[in-house]
Amino acid sequence: MKRNDMNLLESYNSIEKIKKGQSKDGLLFVGITVTAFLIMGAYGFKLSIDNLMVEDRITDLNAYLTSPQVAEKLAQDTKNQADLVRLADIETQVKSMYEVLDFIPVYDERILDIIFENRPDSIHYTKFNYDQNTVAIEYYEHFPVSASAFTLRLLETGIFEDVSYTGYQYDKTAGVYRGQILCIVKGGY
């Protein structure tokens, strides 16, 4: 069978429609591909510029860190840190010494002033002895009652933990009473 009534125009139009649809899809694919390559190229260019800037910054920092001035400052800082550690150790030792000194009796002129201020006129000193936390006072007097009053006065000052006297003996050749008073100093005074 022969076909006599073929419409070539319709066939041509339908083929052209198919070609136009394919060319639009192809153009769209090419456009997306070109745009993606352009974006990737721009991003790659930006990354290259950023990389160059970072490398320049790293070079500058390395040059700064290896400079003699920085090495000298670093050595000085290390020395200062070591000095700070030593100072902290010294501070700890000083605080420890202060804690110990608060409990160890200190003999200074204040203790002697108190002993001299509270002495009755009739008592005369012949010898002072310091032994650890004890002050031993050897004396002579003309009246045997002054030593006990003197002992009470010293105890009332609050500086001594204990004050006692061992009594007295009469010295016939000198005509005086001789004795010894022991004063135990409180810690921190």
Distances (CA, A) of 120 to 117, 159, 165: 8, 18, 15
Q: Phi and psi dihedrals of 145, rounded to 5? A: -90, -15
Which sign, positive or negative, has the C-alpha torsion 157, 160, 161, 164? negative
Residue pair 189/111 in contact by the 8 Å Cβ criterion: yes
Least confident interval from 39-43, 65-69, 174-178? 65-69
- C-alpha torsion angle, residues 19, 21, 25, 27 (rounded to 10): 60
Q: What pLDDT is attached to residue 1?
A: 47
3-state helix, strand, coil in the chain (%, to 5): 60, 20, 20
Please list, in sequence order, all residues whose beta carbon lies within 8 angstroms of the beta carbon of residue 110, skipping any fewer than 6 positions away. Answer: 189
Distance CA 166, CA 24 (A): 129
Q: What pLDDT is attached to residue 86?
A: 93
13-22 pLDDT, tens digit each: 777 666 665 5
88-125 pLDDT, tens digit each: 999 988 888 877 766 665 556 788 888 889 988 889 99
Instruction: Give 179 or 23, the one with higher predicted confidence.
Output: 179
For 150, the 3-state DSSP assignment is helix
Residue with token string 């010898």: 127
Residue pair 189/135 in contact by the 8 Å Cβ criterion: no
Strands 160-171 and 176-185: antiparallel
Distance CA 136, CA 138 (A): 7
Please list, in sequence order, all residues whose beta carbon lies within 8 angstroms of the beta carbon of residue 155, skipping any fewer than 6 positions away. Answer: 162, 163
Distance CA 95, CA 77 (A): 27
> Residue 145 — very low, low, confident or very high, per pLDDT cuts 50/70/90?
confident
Residue pair 102/187 in contact by the 8 Å Cβ criterion: yes
151-181 pLDDT, tens digit each: 999 999 988 899 998 888 999 999 999 999 9
